Amino acid sequence: MQADPSAQRALLLMADLATQVAQLQHRKQTLPEHAQLATLAAQRAQLGEQVVASQTRLGDAETEQERVESDLEPARARLERNQKLIDEGGVDAKALQSLIDETAHLRGRITKLEDNQLDIMQTVEDETAVRDQLIAKKTTIEQQMRELLASRDSAGRDLDGQISNLDLQRTQLVAGLPSELVALYDKIAARNNGTGAAELRARRCTGCGLELDVAELNRHANATPAEVLRCEECGRILVRTDQSGL
Task: Give domain status of residue 168, yes or no.
Answer: no
Q: Helices 5-29 & 179-189, crossing angle to 10 degrees?
A: 40
Amino acid identity of 48?
G
Q: What is the CATH number of the domain that holds 217?
A: 1.10.287.1490
Domain count, the chain: 2
The segments of the chain whose pLDDT lies below 70 read: none
Query: Distances in Å between the alpha carbon of 198 and those of 2, 177, 224?
Result: 17, 17, 18
Q: Are strands 204-205 and 197-201 parallel, antiparallel or unpaired?
A: antiparallel
Which pLDDT does position 66 carry in this prediction? 95
Q: How far apart are CA 29 and CA 153, in angstroms?
A: 12
Give me the DSSP letters along 163-200. HHHHHHHHHHHHTTS-HHHHHHHHHHHTTTTT--EEEE
Helix (H) or strand (E) holding 197: strand 197-201
Same domain? For 36 and 125 the reply is yes
Domain of 89 in residue numbering reads as: 30-159
Which pLDDT does position 167 carry in this prediction? 97
Which pLDDT does position 95 carry in this prediction? 84
Q: How far apart are CA 212 and CA 233, in angstroms?
A: 10
Which pLDDT does position 153 carry in this prediction? 97
Which pLDDT does position 86 carry in this prediction? 87
Which pLDDT does position 245 carry in this prediction? 82
Same domain? For 65 and 122 the reply is yes
Q: What is the CATH number of the domain that holds 48?
A: 1.10.287.1700
Residue where a domain stops, chosen among 131, 159, 187: 159
Same domain? For 110 and 199 the reply is no
Q: How much is the mean pLDDT over the chain?
A: 94
Task: Give domain status of residue 121, yes or no.
Answer: yes
